[in-house]
Chains A and B, each alone.
Chain A
């Protein structure tokens, strides 16, 4: 009888602890989720960056920039009728940071981000499974540091309460 009580407690507690552990794991993972943007189309595959100022000025603006139009399609079916915060992010790059700014047609917020960061583009309750938007994306970098072609990875992710 002396040993029965600990066994009983273990029987009752173990599933509870396991459940609690799983909840912590699942809840943390569910807070931020990547969004399926596989339907997105870029207007041009390779974007030649141009010097912002053709002539190097005494003010030393050595930026290069380029613009591209993005026909964005996000699959939000998973969050249909749920409150979400949708972020657009730019993955970190090697070397000097890349700056991205975008204008929208109103479904998403315009904004800016630098590589390694993200910015809020939507907060609310998605009313449709698919969100389509056109982004006019402008990229800017230090022209002195950009010496070879780079591929910039943009992504979208949802934070749920």
Chain B
């Protein structure tokens, strides 16, 4: 007597594979229509902002949604040396900047006319290198007669109200070159108040001596 095969046709044996086959076909048809909708996103934009002295913001302080704008004002820092004081040592300079509040949050930060606000930020996605704040000055300040005072005769002290660790260090203009003042990590706000002084160590001719210091914030 021959034993029947284990999976001889039966009601279950025949029906189940057929049922399974239909289920697979049905599943394949359903999967063909199923999709995942997609949204492509791009990184945040790089941005850079520098304010030296006067600045412009609209819509409140920066930390409350204010938007910085362009401001072409070039502030003047000056000192008058009385004849009797020529060469007699350091004289504090004063600025025509009226910025006392930090544009970041509006807190009282700089003292005018003694100090000049310098601040800004650098935004960048990813692991970008630091931005760099530098200042460039000519070799000398000059008057109408062509007399000169080396720019290195002008120094600054960095401070701000309740600012225990100024971000820009104290320094002196090198004159005739660009000098780096600060390295700024990405996504960082920085600010300082600079108080300038004239060394007044030499006898110079009378007149108004001028020169421009240009601050530049450079991002990689």
Which positions in A face B, CB cutoff 8 Å? 3-4, 7, 10-11, 14-16, 18-19, 22, 26, 29, 33-38, 40, 42, 45-51, 53-58, 60, 62, 64, 66, 68, 70, 72, 75, 78, 91, 98, 137, 139, 141, 143-155
- How many angstroms between the C-alpha atoms of A29 and B30 in the bound complex? 13
| Most chain B Cβ neighbours within 10 Å, of A22, A60, A72, A144 | A144
Contact between chains at B63 and A18 (CB < 8 Å): no
Name the distance in Å between A153's Cβ and chain B's nearest Cβ.
4
A14-B13, A51-B123 are known contacts. Are A56 and B40 too (CB-CB below 8 A)?
no
Contact between chains at B47 and A149 (CB < 8 Å): no
A37-B34, A56-B123 are known contacts. Are A149 and B42 too (CB-CB below 8 A)?
yes
Contact between chains at A50 and B45 (CB < 8 Å): yes
Name the distance in Å between A85's Cβ and chain B's nearest Cβ.
17
Given contacts A16-B12, A47-B40, A143-B123, 16 further A-B contacts (CB under 8 A): A7-B6, A15-B12, A19-B16, A35-B34, A47-B41, A48-B41, A55-B62, A64-B125, A98-B41, A139-B41, A143-B44, A144-B125, A146-B43, A151-B38, A153-B36, A155-B34
Name the distance in Å between B46's Cβ and chain A's nearest Cβ.
10
Contact between chains at B121 and A154 (CB < 8 Å): no
Query: CB-nearest residue of chain A relative to B57?
Result: A55
B63 / chain A contacts, CB cutoff of 8 Å? 53, 55, 57
Query: CB-nearest residue of chain A relative to B10?
Result: A15
Number of B residues whose C-beta is below 8 Å from A? Answer: 46
Query: CB-nearest residue of chain A relative to B43?
Result: A146
A34 / chain B contacts, CB cutoff of 8 Å? 31, 34
- How many angstroms between the C-alpha atoms of A92 and B140 in the bound complex? 61
1/0 contact trace for B143-165 toward A, CB 8 Å?
00000000000000000000000
Contact between chains at A36 and B40 (CB < 8 Å): no
Name the distance in Å between B71's Cβ and chain A's nearest Cβ.
16
Query: CB-nearest residue of chain B relative to A135?
Result: B37
Contact between chains at A70 and B37 (CB < 8 Å): yes
Contact between chains at A147 and B31 (CB < 8 Å): no
Contact between chains at B37 and A154 (CB < 8 Å): yes
Name the distance in Å between B57's Cβ and chain A's nearest Cβ.
10
Q: Can you list 18 pairs linking A and B with CB atoms under 8 Å apart? A: A11-B8, A37-B34, A40-B35, A45-B40, A48-B41, A49-B44, A54-B65, A55-B189, A56-B189, A57-B63, A57-B189, A58-B189, A60-B187, A137-B39, A143-B44, A144-B127, A149-B42, A153-B36
